[in-house]
C-alpha cells in the first residue's frame, strides 16, 4: 500500500495539464450533498486534525477525499510525503519564492504559500486504509491524517481514531473534539459565501449528469467552484498576514494598499479557526516561507464581508471571467450565464440574506 501511494504521488506530479488531475473529482456532488458543511470540511483539513471518512462504496469514498484536498491549489501535485508520517521531503527541499509575476497564476499561488502542505511529517493521507494500518493511525508519531475506510469497526472506535467523522452512507458529520467544533463554526460571512455557492450548484443541478450544470454554463461548473475556493483561500491567507501585522503593530497605521475597512479581517474567518491553525505544522511552514506583507498582493478581506448584494456577486463573477479570459474560452455559454443570473436572482437573494 505504501509503495502504491508513493507511485501515485509521483504520477500526479508528472501530470502535464492541471485539469487532468481533477477528472472524476466532482465538487458539485460534494457541495450538493454537504452544502454549507463543505466549507466546514475544507477549513477542517487545513487544521490537520484526524479526519476519518467512512462509506460502503470504495470508489465514492476515495473520490470525496480527493475532491476535498484538491480544493487546495497545487496540493495534488505535491503528495510525495502523504504515504507515511515519517516522510518530510517537501519541507526539506522547499525553496522560498523570491520573485513574483502577478500575471502568472502559478507564480502568484507559489508566492502566497500554496499549496498549504497538510501532509508533512507526522501526517498521513490514506483514501482507502485497511485494518492493517490501524497501528500507524494510533502511533504517537501520527498527529494528523485524512483516511477512509469501508469497515464499520472503525465507527465503533471513532473516538479513538478521529477528531471528526464523515459518514458518507448517512451524509453526516460528527465532530468529537470540542476545540475543533469551536474552530469550525462558520461566521456570518462564511455562511453568506457558502450559501451562495450551494444555491448556485443546487439551482443548476442535473441528476442525469451531476458533474455539470444543466445550463451548460460557467456559473456552477467545476472550474467556477474551484475558482471560488481559490479566491477564498487567498483572501484568508492575506487576512492572516494582516492580522499578524495588526497584532504586532497596534499603534501603526494600515500598510495595506487596498481599501480596507474592517479592523481585523480574520474576524470574518473565525478567530478560533486561526488560533487552531497556528498550532499546526502547515502554519509554521507557511510563516517561514512567505512574505509578511502578502496583504500587499491580495486584499485582506473576506470575499463576502459586509452587506453583499446579488449585484455585487454578479459583478465579481463578471470580473473573474474577464480576468481569466473565460469570455473567449466560454463564449458560447455567456448567454446561458446571463439568463441564469436573471432567473436565479430571487433564489440567490434569499440565500444571501440568510
166-215 confidence digits (pLDDT tens):
999 999 999 988 999 999 999 999 999 999 999 999 999 999 999 899 98
C-alpha 220/C-alpha 209 separation (Å) is 13
For 263-314, what is each residue's pLDDT tens digit?
Answer: 799 999 999 999 999 999 999 999 999 999 999 999 999 999 987 666 666 6
Q: How confident is the model at residue 5 (pLDDT cuts 50, 70, 90)?
A: low
What is the mean pLDDT of the segment spanning 41-61? 97
What is the mean pLDDT of the segment spanning 5-27? 67
What is the mean pLDDT of the segment spanning 325-348? 46
What is the mean pLDDT of the segment spanning 337-351? 47
Checking DSSP bridges between strand 123-126 and strand 144-149, what pairing results, if any?
Answer: parallel
Nearest 5°: CA angle at 93, between 230 and 298?
A: 25
Average pLDDT, the chain: 85
> What is the model's pLDDT at position 309?
62
Q: How confident is the model at residue 138 (pLDDT cuts 50, 70, 90)?
A: very high
> What is the model's pLDDT at position 20?
82
Phi, psi of 174 (to 5 degrees): -125, 115
Say whether pLDDT at 353 is over 70: no
Say whether pLDDT at 45 is over 80: yes
Are the C-beta atoms of 190 and 39 separated by less than 8 Å?
yes
For 208-244, what is each residue's pLDDT tens digit?
Answer: 999 899 988 899 999 999 999 999 999 999 999 999 9
Residue ranges with strand state E in 29-163: 50-54, 123-126, 144-149
Say whether pLDDT at 88 is over 90: yes
Q: How confident is the model at residue 252 (pLDDT cuts 50, 70, 90)?
A: low
What is the mean pLDDT of the segment spanning 127-152? 93
Q: What is the pTM of this model?
A: 0.84
How far out from the chain centre does Cα 71 lie?
A: 4
Say whether pLDDT at 351 is over 50: no
For 68-82, what is each residue's pLDDT tens digit?
Answer: 999 999 999 999 999
Rg (CA), the chain: 20
> What is the model's pLDDT at position 248?
86
> What is the model's pLDDT at position 328?
47
Amino acid at each position: 500500500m505504501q509503495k502504491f501511494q508513493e507511485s501515485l504521488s509521483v504520477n500526479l506530479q508528472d501530470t502535464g495539464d492541471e485539469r487532468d488531475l481533477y477528472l472524476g473529482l466532482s465538487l458539485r456532488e460534494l457541495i450538493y450533498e454537504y452544502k454549507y458543511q463543505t466549507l466546514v470540511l475544507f477549513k477542517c483539513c487545513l487544521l490537520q486534525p484526524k479526519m476519518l471518512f467512512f462509506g460502503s462504496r470504495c470508489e465514492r469514498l476515495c473520490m470525496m477525499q480527493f475532491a476535498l484536498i484538491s480544493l487546495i491549489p497545487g496540493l495534488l501535485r505535491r503528495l510525495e510525503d502523504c504515504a507515511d508520517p515519517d516522510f518530510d521531503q517537501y519541507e526539506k527541499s522547499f525553496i522560498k519564492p523570491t520573485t513574483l509575476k502577478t500575471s502568472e497564476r502559478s507564480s502568484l499561488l507559489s508566492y502566497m504559500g500554496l499549496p498549504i502542505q497538510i501532509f508533512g511529517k507526522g501526517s498521513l493521507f490514506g483514501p482507502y486504509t485497511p485494518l492493517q494500518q490501524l497501528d500507524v493511525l494510533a502511533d504517537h508519531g501520527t498527529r494528523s491524517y485524512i483516511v477512509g475506510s469501508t469497515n464499520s469497526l472503525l465507527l465503533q472506535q471513532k473516538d479513538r481514531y478521529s477528531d471528526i467523522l464523515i459518514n458518507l452512507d448517512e451524509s453526516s458529520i460528527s465532530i468529537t473534539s470540542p476545540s475543533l467544533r469551536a474552530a469550525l463554526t462558520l461566521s456570518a460571512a462564511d455562511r453568506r459565501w457558502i450559501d451562495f455557492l450551494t444555491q448556485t450548484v443546487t439551482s443548476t443541478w442535473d441528476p442525469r449528469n451531476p458533474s455539470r450544470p444543466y445550463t451548460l454554463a460557467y456559473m456552477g461548473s467545476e472550474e467556477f467552484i474551484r475558482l471560488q475556493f481559490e479566491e477564498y483561500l487567498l483572501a484568508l491567507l492575506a487576512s492572516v498576514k494582516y492580522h499578524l501585522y495588526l497584532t504586532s503593530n497596534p499603534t501603526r497605521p494600515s500598510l495595506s494598499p487596498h481599501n480596507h475597512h474592517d479592523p481585523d479581517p480574520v474576524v470574518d474567518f473565525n478567530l478560533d479557526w486561526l488560533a487552531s491553525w497556528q498550532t499546526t505544522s502547515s502554519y509554521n511552514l507557511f510563516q517561514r516561507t512567505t512574505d509578511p506583507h502578502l496583504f500587499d498582493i491580495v486584499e485582506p478581506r473576506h470575499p463576502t464581508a459586509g452587506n453583499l448584494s446579488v449585484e455585487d456577486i454578479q459583478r465579481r463573477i463578471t470580473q473573474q471571467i474577464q480576468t481569466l479570459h473565460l469570455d473567449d474560452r466560454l463564449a458560447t455559454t455567456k448567454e446561458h450565464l446571463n439568463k441564469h443570473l436573471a432567473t436565479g436572482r430571487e433564489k440567490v437573494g434569499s440565500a444571501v440574506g440568510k
